[in-house]
Amino acid sequence: MFKKILIANRGEIALRVICACKELGIETVAVYSEADQQSLHVRFADQAVCIGPARSSDSYLNIASIISAAEITNADAIHPGYGFLSENDHFAEVCEVSHITFIGPRPEAMRLMGNKDAARKKMAELGLPVLPGSGVLTSLAEALEAAQQIGYPVMVKAAAGGGGRGMRVVASSEELPHFFATAQQEAQAAFGTPDVYLEKYIASPRHIEFQVLADHYGKVVHLGERECTIQRRHQKLLEESPSTQISFEVRHEVGRQVVEALKETGYTNAGTVEFIMDENRNLYFLEMNARIQVEHPVTEMVTGLDLVKKQIEIAAGQPLDISAETVSLRGHAIECRICAENPETFAPSAGKIIGFNVPGGLGVRLDTAAYAEAVVPPYYDSLIAKLVVHGSDRAEAISRMARALDMFIIEGISTSVPLHQKIMADPDFRAGKFDTHYLSRFSRNGTG
């Protein structure tokens, strides 16, 4: 087992990794920007190293500074968390060259899964269903021809994309020239490459993902699915497990397909295989995230497994001590992402937290790095907390989340708590009637 792990991240995920390390008896190193000097991950780590100014490019994305911090503190492994460098195959390679274990998949697996077009092709070869689509397109003429073959509406998607960037819905050939160029420009700005491809657009989809763990000895286990359908501009706001749309038989069969596909690729560590579900409940492979997910706590709540500990144990060379037969989903879990932003306009809300009351009680978990008098900086993602509840069934989980949200007080900044309160009270949400457009309709109806 590792003696010391450096966490190349900030906020709640950095604290989450510190918690896992403490339980495993592993020392931790926090890295922080000048803006995060008073952050809790700095306080609770065994050591802390400042790696640069507030801007991410000068600190949390600065590979040289992070590797230097690992070397001067004698860390023998790095956990990247999610976001920042977590899916950067170059960073994983630099760790290898520096004889520091990267707690995640191999660089070649990250390269494959990081390119959506390549990942689609590979998963189709391995038997997973994929939506009709094209390869990477180099010209508008190619795009027009491909769209005609696929059939409108289509989605233009960045091959190296994520977070909804470089994505445009196109309803007709007249719209394609503008949206094709816009998606290319956005992809270039966000990911450093203009590569885009087309995919058949599903009008009323749901977003379902399967959590997997894979060790270095060929063992792959899936831990069931998460429902991640409620989103704003392709950014998830609320997740739950299990999904009301997935039967035991479908879970077993799709899980088997996912496991077999990842065995063929030689994938290791934690990963999430994401699917889009159409109106007839057909699932199609969307992409794979080669890292721990923001929403991993809902899987932990229904399985009783610590996924971050499993990541560390796998990276240390330990075999998985679980199997499909030993993993069962118990009850229902819901996670609300609490962001520092206006709940109606979604405008970021940086500033000092002047009042802070944490909800508690049976089945309530809060992952956060926020506290009273903490300053939420304007430089990073607006996520400040993840409120997670577990109940014996979905109805109890919803009631428990509504109660916990009512007891969650954050003063001094605006947060998304009021929006989540309204979602919990909405009859359509309670009945499980929603798709990825739910939030826009919800807002138009005057309830959001």
Per residue of the chain (448 residues), what is the pLDDT tens digit?
A: 999 999 999 999 999 999 999 999 999 999 999 999 999 999 999 999 999 999 999 999 999 999 999 999 999 999 999 999 999 999 999 999 999 999 999 999 999 998 888 898 999 999 999 999 999 999 999 999 999 999 999 999 998 876 678 889 999 999 999 999 999 999 998 888 999 999 999 999 999 999 999 999 999 999 999 999 999 888 899 999 999 999 999 999 999 999 999 999 999 999 999 999 999 999 999 999 999 999 999 999 999 999 999 999 999 999 999 988 889 999 999 999 999 999 888 899 999 999 999 999 999 999 999 999 999 999 999 999 999 999 999 999 999 999 999 999 999 999 999 999 999 999 999 999 999 999 987 665 544 3
CB 41 within 8 Å of CB 113: no
Are residues 217 and 181 part of one domain?
A: no
Answer yes or no: is 116 within a domain: no
Residue 127 belongs to a domain: no
Q: What is the CATH number of the domain that holds 186?
A: 3.30.1490.20
Is 97 domain-assigned?
yes
Handedness of CA 41, 47, 53, 56 (dihedral sign): negative
117 in a domain, yes or no?
Answer: no
Residue 81 in any domain: the answer is yes
pLDDT of residue 92: 98
From 164, 183, 200, the end of a domain falls on: 200
Is 111 one of the catalytic residues?
no
Residues 169 and 210 in one domain: no
What pLDDT, on the 0 to 100 scale, is given for residue 416?
A: 96
pLDDT for 443 equals: 62
Residue 256's CATH number: 3.30.470.20
In-domain check, residue 388: yes
**Sign of the dihedral defined by the CA atoms of residues 405, 340, 204, 261, in that order:** negative
Based on the domain organization, do 44 and 155 belong to the same domain? Answer: no
pLDDT for position 114 = 87
Residue 89: inside a domain? yes
Report the pLDDT value the prediction gives residue 61, as an integer from 0 to 100: 97
Looking at the fold, whether 375 and 439 belong to one and the same domain comes out as: yes
Per the structure, the count of domains in the chain is: 3
Q: Which of 168, 291, 365, 400 is catalytic?
A: 291
Cα–Cα distance, 448 to 445 (Å, whole number): 8
Q: Same domain, yes or no, for 434 and 300?
A: yes
**Among 123, 127, 130, 160, which Cα is nearest to 265's?**
123
Q: Is residue 404 part of a domain?
A: yes
Q: Both 253 and 364 in a single domain?
A: yes
Q: Do residues 320 and 358 share a domain? A: yes
pLDDT at 448: 39
**pLDDT at residue 447, as a whole number:** 42
Q: Are residues 213 and 172 in the same domain?
A: no
pLDDT for res 444 = 54
Q: Are 149 and 275 members of one domain?
A: no
Listed residues 185, 200, 215: the one ending a domain: 200
Q: Which of 86, 103, 120 is the last residue of a domain?
A: 103
| Separation CA 324–CA 36 (nearest Å) | 41
Instruction: Verify that 369 and 263 share a domain, yes or no.
Output: yes
Residues 242 and 322 in one domain: yes
Distance CA 448, CA 419 (A): 6
Looking up residue 97, the CATH number of its domain turns out to be: 3.40.50.20
Neighbours of 76 (CB within 10 A): 17
The first and second tokens of residue 170, run together, are 């196109």
Give me 43's structure tokens.
């306080």
Same domain assignment for residues 161 and 37: no
318: containing domain: 206-444
What residues pair up with 339 in beta bridges, in sequence order? 383
